[in-house]
Structure 1
């Protein structure tokens, strides 16, 4: 599986450099996402701009990432999906669960807004 990981202060940019997100990649992707999470990063931007095809096991890997990063108040943002992949996400109604945006800038905004909301909740408790 080809990918890059760019670690920033507030989040990690995980760029999947594969054209297919399917059952052959899904187990490795789940493992890598959980490894980055275990390193202490609570926010992840998942760039899937290279992905032209995804199937249900690929979507399952994205859900695993979403679940892991959402557990401790973090956020998992999917960015730059190609039209076919975005349609699949919408057909499976995962756009109601996953944070999907068109650009890195929108993803960074979502991460920072999540951080602000999390800080407000901590102050209120």
Structure 2
């Protein structure tokens, strides 16, 4: 898995590509989210549109990220998961705890409204 992150309008956008499974890249991504501005960033959007496969470790990564941001008083949203990833979220009932956005602007709008 590859990832890119950017901070835009106080929202951390994490863009994932490939397979979301346990490995050094996922660990690196988690550490980057932890260390970003000493935990002062409260909003995160994870773009899953280019994720082909996700296993239970990958689901654990998403839940861990969500927990980190909610513990800060913030929120996390998933952007455009593929049909395969959506089905996994439904089967595992994680669709009940994650908000899914269809694009960056909807994600940003939801996140900004979630903290006010």
TM tier relative to shorter chain: 0.7 to 0.9
Query: Cα RMSD (Å) of the superposition?
Result: 1.7
Is the alpha carbon distance of 1:54 and 1:76 closer, same or farther for their aligned partners in structure 2, counting shifts above 3 Å? Answer: same
- Counterpart in the other structure of 1:21: 20
Normalized against structure 1, the TM-score is what? 0.81
In the TM superposition, residue 89 of structure 1 has moved relative to its aligned partner by 0.9
| 1:80–1:104 CA contact under 8 A, matched in 2 | no
Gaps of 5+ in 1: 117-125
In the TM superposition, residue 23 of structure 1 has moved relative to its aligned partner by 2.1
- Counterpart in the other structure of 1:34: 34
Normalized against structure 2, the TM-score is what? 0.87
Structure number with greater Rg is 1
Gaps of 5+ in 2: none
In the TM superposition, residue 29 of structure 1 has moved relative to its aligned partner by 3.3
- Counterpart in the other structure of 1:57: 57
- Bigger proportion of residues as strand: 2
Distance, in Å, in 2 between the alignment partners of 1:105 and 1:113 is 12
